Amino acid sequence: SQQGEEDPQALSIQEGENATMNCSYKTSINNLQWYRQNSGRGLVHLILIRSNEREKHSGRLRVTLDTSKKSSSLLITASRAADTASYFCATDVSGGYNKLIFGAGTRLAVHP
Amino acid sequence: DTGVSQDPRHKITKRGQNVTFRCDPISEHNRLYWYRQTLGQGPEFLTYFQNEAQLEKSRLLSDRFSAERPKGSFSTLEIQRTEQGDSAMYLCASSPTRGDYGYTFGSGTRLTVV
Protein backbone atom coordinates (compact mmCIF):
# COMPACT_ATOMS: atom_id res chain seq x y z
CA SER A 1 0.00 0.00 0.00
CA GLN A 2 1.15 3.56 -0.59
CA GLN A 3 0.98 6.01 2.28
CA GLY A 4 1.69 9.19 0.37
CA GLU A 5 -0.51 10.84 -2.19
CA GLU A 6 0.85 13.55 -4.44
CA ASP A 7 -1.20 16.34 -5.89
CA PRO A 8 -1.49 17.17 -8.72
CA GLN A 9 -0.92 13.94 -10.63
CA ALA A 10 0.40 15.96 -13.56
CA LEU A 11 1.64 19.52 -13.94
CA SER A 12 2.56 21.40 -17.13
CA ILE A 13 4.32 24.79 -16.94
CA GLN A 14 6.58 27.09 -18.94
CA GLU A 15 10.28 27.55 -18.28
CA GLY A 16 10.90 30.17 -15.64
CA GLU A 17 7.66 29.51 -13.78
CA ASN A 18 7.51 27.96 -10.31
CA ALA A 19 6.21 24.42 -9.80
CA THR A 20 4.50 23.35 -6.58
CA MET A 21 3.73 19.76 -5.72
CA ASN A 22 1.93 18.57 -2.62
CA CYS A 23 2.08 15.35 -0.67
CA SER A 24 -0.23 14.01 2.01
CA TYR A 25 0.44 11.02 4.22
CA LYS A 26 -1.39 9.01 6.85
CA THR A 27 0.81 7.96 9.77
CA SER A 28 3.51 9.47 11.99
CA ILE A 29 6.88 9.83 10.34
CA ASN A 30 10.56 10.17 11.18
CA ASN A 31 11.25 12.13 8.03
CA LEU A 32 9.85 12.84 4.59
CA GLN A 33 11.92 12.78 1.42
CA TRP A 34 11.47 13.92 -2.16
CA TYR A 35 12.87 12.08 -5.16
CA ARG A 36 13.03 12.78 -8.87
CA GLN A 37 12.80 10.14 -11.60
CA ASN A 38 13.53 10.72 -15.24
CA SER A 39 11.68 8.45 -17.64
CA GLY A 40 12.81 4.84 -17.37
CA ARG A 41 15.56 5.59 -14.87
CA GLY A 42 16.18 5.12 -11.17
CA LEU A 43 15.19 7.65 -8.55
CA VAL A 44 17.43 10.48 -7.40
CA HIS A 45 17.23 11.79 -3.84
CA LEU A 46 16.51 15.53 -3.75
CA ILE A 47 15.91 16.56 -0.16
CA LEU A 48 15.05 15.19 3.28
CA ILE A 49 13.09 17.02 5.96
CA ARG A 50 12.87 15.69 9.50
CA SER A 51 9.63 15.55 11.46
CA ASN A 52 10.77 18.37 13.75
CA GLU A 53 11.60 20.68 10.83
CA ARG A 54 9.11 22.93 9.08
CA GLU A 55 11.02 24.18 6.05
CA LYS A 56 14.17 23.30 4.17
CA HIS A 57 15.94 24.73 1.14
CA SER A 58 18.36 23.25 -1.36
CA GLY A 59 19.27 25.36 -4.38
CA ARG A 60 16.03 26.02 -6.29
CA LEU A 61 14.10 23.57 -4.09
CA ARG A 62 12.02 24.51 -1.07
CA VAL A 63 10.26 21.89 1.02
CA THR A 64 7.75 22.50 3.77
CA LEU A 65 6.34 20.02 6.25
CA ASP A 66 3.18 20.35 8.35
CA THR A 67 2.98 17.34 10.65
CA SER A 68 -0.35 18.49 12.12
CA LYS A 69 -1.91 18.26 8.65
CA LYS A 70 0.30 15.36 7.60
CA SER A 71 1.31 17.18 4.45
CA SER A 72 4.36 18.46 2.63
CA SER A 73 5.01 20.60 -0.40
CA LEU A 74 7.89 20.82 -2.85
CA LEU A 75 8.48 24.11 -4.65
CA ILE A 76 10.82 24.29 -7.63
CA THR A 77 11.59 27.90 -8.46
CA ALA A 78 12.54 29.23 -11.90
CA SER A 79 11.92 25.86 -13.53
CA ARG A 80 13.97 24.62 -16.48
CA ALA A 81 13.20 22.12 -19.21
CA ALA A 82 15.68 19.77 -17.50
CA ASP A 83 13.34 19.65 -14.47
CA THR A 84 10.89 17.62 -16.54
CA ALA A 85 10.51 14.36 -14.59
CA SER A 86 8.29 12.56 -12.10
CA TYR A 87 8.58 13.68 -8.49
CA PHE A 88 7.79 11.38 -5.57
CA CYS A 89 7.41 11.99 -1.89
CA ALA A 90 8.43 9.18 0.42
CA THR A 91 7.83 8.81 4.12
CA ASP A 92 10.05 7.11 6.67
CA VAL A 93 7.35 5.78 8.97
CA SER A 94 7.89 5.95 12.74
CA GLY A 95 8.55 2.63 14.36
CA GLY A 96 9.54 0.98 11.13
CA TYR A 97 12.90 -0.20 9.91
CA ASN A 98 13.45 3.11 8.16
CA LYS A 99 11.97 1.80 4.95
CA LEU A 100 10.44 4.42 2.71
CA ILE A 101 6.86 4.34 1.52
CA PHE A 102 6.39 6.19 -1.78
CA GLY A 103 3.43 8.00 -3.24
CA ALA A 104 2.25 7.70 -6.83
CA GLY A 105 4.13 10.82 -7.94
CA THR A 106 3.58 14.06 -9.82
CA ARG A 107 4.57 14.15 -13.48
CA LEU A 108 6.05 17.57 -14.23
CA ALA A 109 6.50 18.85 -17.77
CA VAL A 110 8.43 22.09 -18.24
CA HIS A 111 8.10 23.57 -21.73
CA PRO A 112 10.81 25.79 -23.26
CA ASP B 1 32.50 4.12 -5.88
CA THR B 2 30.18 4.42 -8.86
CA GLY B 3 26.90 4.10 -6.98
CA VAL B 4 24.35 1.30 -6.97
CA SER B 5 24.65 -1.10 -9.90
CA GLN B 6 21.91 -3.38 -11.16
CA ASP B 7 22.21 -6.16 -13.67
CA PRO B 8 20.73 -6.79 -16.15
CA ARG B 9 19.14 -3.52 -17.26
CA HIS B 10 16.48 -5.33 -19.26
CA LYS B 11 15.17 -8.89 -19.14
CA ILE B 12 12.59 -10.47 -21.38
CA THR B 13 11.44 -13.91 -20.32
CA LYS B 14 8.72 -16.36 -21.15
CA ARG B 15 5.98 -17.02 -18.65
CA GLY B 16 6.93 -19.81 -16.30
CA GLN B 17 10.67 -19.23 -16.49
CA ASN B 18 12.82 -18.24 -13.52
CA VAL B 19 14.79 -14.99 -13.48
CA THR B 20 17.44 -13.59 -11.18
CA PHE B 21 18.51 -9.99 -10.77
CA ARG B 22 21.63 -8.69 -9.09
CA CYS B 23 22.26 -5.51 -7.13
CA ASP B 24 25.62 -4.15 -6.00
CA PRO B 25 25.10 -1.42 -3.39
CA ILE B 26 27.47 1.33 -2.36
CA SER B 27 30.14 -0.52 -0.41
CA GLU B 28 29.83 1.52 2.80
CA HIS B 29 26.04 1.10 2.94
CA ASN B 30 24.72 -1.57 5.31
CA ARG B 31 21.09 -1.28 4.25
CA LEU B 32 19.77 -2.61 0.97
CA TYR B 33 16.22 -2.39 -0.34
CA TRP B 34 14.28 -3.88 -3.22
CA TYR B 35 11.30 -2.09 -4.73
CA ARG B 36 9.01 -2.82 -7.64
CA GLN B 37 7.55 -0.11 -9.84
CA THR B 38 4.86 -0.42 -12.47
CA LEU B 39 4.07 2.18 -15.11
CA GLY B 40 2.65 5.38 -13.68
CA GLN B 41 3.02 4.28 -10.08
CA GLY B 42 5.47 4.92 -7.29
CA PRO B 43 7.92 2.27 -6.11
CA GLU B 44 6.41 -0.41 -3.89
CA PHE B 45 8.52 -1.86 -1.08
CA LEU B 46 9.44 -5.53 -1.46
CA THR B 47 12.15 -6.33 1.07
CA TYR B 48 14.97 -4.91 3.14
CA PHE B 49 18.35 -6.15 4.36
CA GLN B 50 20.63 -4.87 7.02
CA ASN B 51 23.97 -6.46 6.29
CA GLU B 52 23.10 -10.09 5.47
CA ALA B 53 19.91 -10.19 7.56
CA GLN B 54 16.59 -9.89 5.74
CA LEU B 55 14.60 -7.84 8.24
CA GLU B 56 11.31 -7.29 6.48
CA LYS B 57 9.37 -8.70 3.55
CA SER B 58 6.28 -7.16 2.02
CA ARG B 59 3.14 -9.19 1.51
CA LEU B 60 3.71 -8.39 -2.17
CA LEU B 61 6.62 -10.82 -2.04
CA SER B 62 4.86 -14.09 -2.75
CA ASP B 63 6.43 -17.51 -2.32
CA ARG B 64 7.73 -17.24 -5.87
CA PHE B 65 10.01 -14.39 -4.85
CA SER B 66 13.20 -14.81 -2.86
CA ALA B 67 15.98 -12.41 -2.04
CA GLU B 68 19.39 -12.97 -0.59
CA ARG B 69 22.33 -10.89 0.47
CA PRO B 70 25.18 -13.28 1.22
CA LYS B 71 28.02 -11.78 3.23
CA GLY B 72 26.19 -8.47 3.39
CA SER B 73 27.50 -7.28 0.05
CA PHE B 74 25.61 -7.74 -3.24
CA SER B 75 22.03 -8.96 -3.30
CA THR B 76 20.01 -11.14 -5.65
CA LEU B 77 16.27 -11.19 -6.27
CA GLU B 78 14.89 -14.34 -7.84
CA ILE B 79 11.43 -14.78 -9.29
CA GLN B 80 10.35 -18.35 -9.95
CA ARG B 81 7.66 -19.38 -12.44
CA THR B 82 7.24 -15.84 -13.72
CA GLU B 83 3.78 -14.50 -14.53
CA GLN B 84 2.78 -11.63 -16.79
CA GLY B 85 1.85 -9.64 -13.69
CA ASP B 86 5.50 -9.71 -12.66
CA SER B 87 6.36 -7.36 -15.52
CA ALA B 88 7.71 -4.23 -13.86
CA MET B 89 10.82 -2.25 -13.07
CA TYR B 90 12.73 -3.76 -10.15
CA LEU B 91 14.69 -1.15 -8.25
CA CYS B 92 17.46 -1.64 -5.72
CA ALA B 93 18.58 1.04 -3.29
CA SER B 94 21.07 1.30 -0.45
CA SER B 95 21.60 3.63 2.47
CA PRO B 96 23.87 4.00 5.49
CA THR B 97 22.78 2.41 8.75
CA ARG B 98 22.65 5.41 11.00
CA GLY B 99 21.18 8.82 10.60
CA ASP B 100 18.64 10.35 8.31
CA TYR B 101 19.91 9.68 4.82
CA GLY B 102 18.23 9.40 1.51
CA TYR B 103 18.47 6.26 -0.54
CA THR B 104 20.79 5.83 -3.48
CA PHE B 105 18.93 3.98 -6.20
CA GLY B 106 20.25 1.92 -9.04
CA SER B 107 18.94 2.35 -12.58
CA GLY B 108 16.69 -0.66 -12.20
CA THR B 109 16.03 -3.89 -14.06
CA ARG B 110 13.05 -3.80 -16.40
CA LEU B 111 11.38 -7.21 -16.57
CA THR B 112 9.00 -8.12 -19.35
CA VAL B 113 7.20 -11.45 -19.11
CA VAL B 114 5.74 -12.60 -22.43
In sequence order, what DSSP letters do the residues of B34-77 get, joined into one string? Answer: EEEE-TTS--EEEEEEETTEEEEE-TTS-TTEEEE-GGGS-EEE
**Confidence band, pLDDT 50/70/90 cuts, at residue A97:** low
Q: What is the pLDDT of residue B97?
A: 75
Q: Report how far apart, in Å, the C-alpha atoms of A7 and of each of A4, A19, A20, B30, B71 are.
A: 10, 12, 9, 33, 42
Q: Which among B45, B102, B110 has CB closest to A45?
A: B102
**Confidence band, pLDDT 50/70/90 cuts, at residue A1:** very low
Q: Which residues of B6-30 are buried (b: 16+ CB within 10 A; e: fewer)?
A: beeeebebeeeeebebebbbbeebb
Give the residue from A100, A101, A106, A107 with the most B CB atoms within 10 Å of its CB, the best one to mutate: A100
Q: What is the pLDDT of residue B65?
A: 95
**Is the alpha carbon torsion for A25, A30, A36, A37 positive or negative?**
negative
Average pLDDT for runs of 10 along chain B of length 114: 89 98 95 94 94 88 92 94 97 85 94 98
* Backbone angles phi and psi of B86, in degrees to 5: -80, -10
pLDDT tens sequence across A9-26: 999 999 999 999 999 999
Min distance B63 CA to chain A CA atoms (Å): 19
Residues in B closer than 8 angstroms to A98, CB to CB, are 31, 95
Whether the pLDDT of residue A95 is over 70: the answer is: no
Residues in A closer than 8 angstroms to B103, CB to CB, are 33, 35, 43, 45, 100
Q: What is the pLDDT of residue B56?
A: 87
Residue B80: other Cβ atoms inside 10 A: 14
Residues on chain B bordering chain A, Cβ-to-Cβ distance under 8 angstroms:
4, 31, 33, 35, 40-45, 48, 50, 55-56, 89, 91, 93, 95, 100-108, 110
Q: What is the pLDDT of residue B61?
A: 82
* Backbone angles phi and psi of B99, in degrees to 5: 90, 170
pLDDT tens sequence across A55-85: 999 999 999 999 999 999 999 999 999 999 9
Torsion of CA A109, A92, B98, B7, to 10 degrees: -50
Q: What percent of chain B has pLDDT over 70?
A: 96
Whether the pLDDT of residue A39 is over 90: the answer is: no
Q: What is the pLDDT of residue A93?
A: 81
> What's the whole-number mean pLDDT along residues A34-48?
93
